[in-house]
Chain A
Amino acid sequence: TQLLEQSPQFLSIQEGENLTVYCNSSSVFSSLQWYRQEPGEGPVLLVTVVTGGEVKKLKRLTFQFGDARKDSSLHITAAQPGDTGLYLCAGTFSGAGSYQLTFGKGTKLSVIP
Chain B
Amino acid sequence: EPEVTQTPSHQVTQMGQEVILRCVPISNHLYFYWYRQILGQKVEFLVSFYNNEISEKSEIFDDQFSVERPDGSNFTLKIRSTKLEDSAMYFCAGKSSYNSPLHFGNGTRLTVT
Contacts and interface: CB of A to CB of B under 8 A. Distances in A.
A101 B55 CA distance: 13
Contacts of A43: 43, 91, 104
Interface string A19-50: 00000000000000100000011111100100
B67 interface: no
Interface string B52-83: 00011010000000000000000000000000
B105 A42 contact: yes
Interface in A59-113: 88, 90, 97-106
B107 A41 contact: yes
A interface secondary structure, majority: loop
A100 B48 contact: yes
Contact of A90 (B41, B43, B103): B43
Given A100-B56, A101-B45, A102-B45, A45 B106 contact: no
A48 B93 CA distance: 16
Contact of A42 (B55, B93, B101): B93
Interface in B71-113: 91, 93, 101-107
A102 B58 CA distance: 11
B43 A48 contact: no
Given A41-B106, A45-B101, A100 B43 contact: no
A101 B46 CA distance: 10
Interface of A: 33, 40-45, 48, 88, 90, 97-106
Interface of B: 4, 31, 33, 35, 41-45, 48, 50, 55-56, 58, 91, 93, 101-107
